[in-house]
Amino acid sequence: MRLAYQAAGLELPARIVWCDSPLALARLAGRMSRDDGRNVRFRLVDRLRRRIASRIEARVHRKVLAAVDSAVNPADLLIAAAAEAVIRSVPEQNLSVLGQLRRTGLSFSGALQAFVAPRSFSSCAAGPQDLPWLGAYDYLREVLGLRSETEPLRGLMQLATSVGWLLPHEHTCWLAERPNLLCGDARDRLHHASGPALCYPDGWSIWAWRGVEVSRCIIERPDRITLAAIDEQTDVQVRRCMIEIMTPERYVALGGATRVGEDETGILWRRNWLAADAWAAVEVVNATPEPDGTRRHFFLQVPANLHTPREAVAWTYGMRAEAYAHLVLRT
């Protein structure tokens, strides 16, 4: 912290407060006062990054910098998804200008600061999604030997290795621990089939199914998902997650959907709630028999605007129904 504040031209804050989660950080910061000083995220992170970038660009060609950045700092969709979930879940301060004036004072400089100061958690704090660019500069420092040019970033680099979130002010800096659990699916969406997808040391957790945040009971007590509970759910995405967790096969067996079509490719099932709110799945039979001679039935969720089983099955292959109908071999 000393190195980071020093590089930004700031004195080390008098108080450094560790929190066990971003939620705890946001709650403590929500009680900040004038004694904590102004928010300095822009000076600590953004302005410093611009200053070092201009130094590096004077030494290294931009094409080389772009190649280093793409190789050292690939996009991490799971980290981005976790950060977005945190931002959505923590209480936003969003202080009014009057609220800022009460903290900064009724002077001209205080009034000016109140109008330009960031007021939301996402604009005041820096999370893991805001610091991966440091990886490229660490490469330039350690591999290409640009130590003097990147020396001001050394504090931020050390922080990035051990801090989850930071909310820096002039006299107080709040820091949050990293998560002790972060789970995703093959597409790097927040996901865990039996527990929280994101969990922090103090127990604060977020449950998610294929990138959709859901309540804890949906994940940990799937036996409590009923047709009535699905119908009462107003969020379309959460409702579809509930059907997936229950399994489309069981949903259909319980009478949740209506048979709307059948042909040689399978059976199309649909459930309508509103004109623009429906669910559909096509029931197909595996072409390869099991060892005991039986054939497994599969339910594939498909867009609800499809009209025939053939059209639905063709959609799962990325084909039109007419093209699918001329296939010689189907699996």
- pLDDT for position 328: 53
**What tokens were used for 270?**
């649909």
Q: What are the distances in angstroms from CA 82 to CA 17, 74, 121, 133, 208?
A: 23, 16, 15, 17, 10
For residue 282, report the phi and psi dihedrals to the nearest 5 degrees: -110, 130
Say whether both 190 and 133 belong to one domain.
no
> How many residues are given for the chain?
331
With H, G, I as helix, E, B as strand and everything else as coil, classify residue 130: helix
Say whether both 162 and 245 belong to one domain.
no
Q: Enter the pTM of the model.
A: 0.82
Say whether both 169 and 56 belong to one domain.
yes
* Domain housing 169: 2-178
Q: How far apart are CA 61 and CA 292, in angstroms?
A: 66
Residues of the chain with pLDDT under 70: 92-119, 275, 328-331
Among 122, 154, 178, residue at a domain's last position = 178
**What tokens were used for 135?**
């990886």
Q: Is the dihedral of CA 33, 34, 35, 36 positive or negative?
A: positive
For residue 71, report the phi and psi dihedrals to the nearest 5 degrees: -85, -40
- Can you point out the beta strands (E) in the chain? 15-19, 165-168, 172-176, 181-182, 198-199, 205-209, 212-214, 258-263, 266-274, 277-285, 297-302
Say whether both 266 and 234 belong to one domain.
no
- pLDDT for position 106: 47
Say whether both 138 and 246 belong to one domain.
no
Say whether both 194 and 61 belong to one domain.
no
Q: Which of 289, 281, 202 is nearest to 247 (CA)?
A: 281
- pLDDT for position 81: 95
Q: Which residue has the tokens 């379309």?
A: 236
Say whether both 138 and 238 belong to one domain.
no
Start-end of H helices in 215-308: 216-220, 227-232, 236-246, 248-253
With H, G, I as helix, E, B as strand and everything else as coil, classify residue 133: coil
Say whether both 19 and 43 belong to one domain.
yes
Say whether both 246 and 264 belong to one domain.
no
- pLDDT for position 120: 81
Instruction: Give the number of domains in the chain.
Output: 3
Among 255, 283, 313, residue at a domain's last position = 255
Q: Which residue has the tokens 């995405």?
A: 237
Say whether both 191 and 269 belong to one domain.
no
- pLDDT for position 115: 45
Q: What confidence tens digit (pLDDT) does each residue in 204-230 have? A: 999 999 999 999 999 999 999 999 999
- pLDDT for position 292: 77
Among 122, 152, 178, residue at a domain's last position = 178
Say whether both 44 and 75 belong to one domain.
yes
Q: What are the distances in angstroms from CA 109 to CA 10, 32, 104, 254, 272?
A: 18, 19, 8, 66, 58
- pLDDT for position 296: 82
DSSP label at residue 330: -
Q: What confidence tens digit (pLDDT) does each residue in 21-57 have? A: 999 999 988 888 889 999 999 999 999 999 999 999 9
Q: How far apart are CA 303 and CA 207, in angstroms?
A: 25
Say whether both 233 and 139 belong to one domain.
no
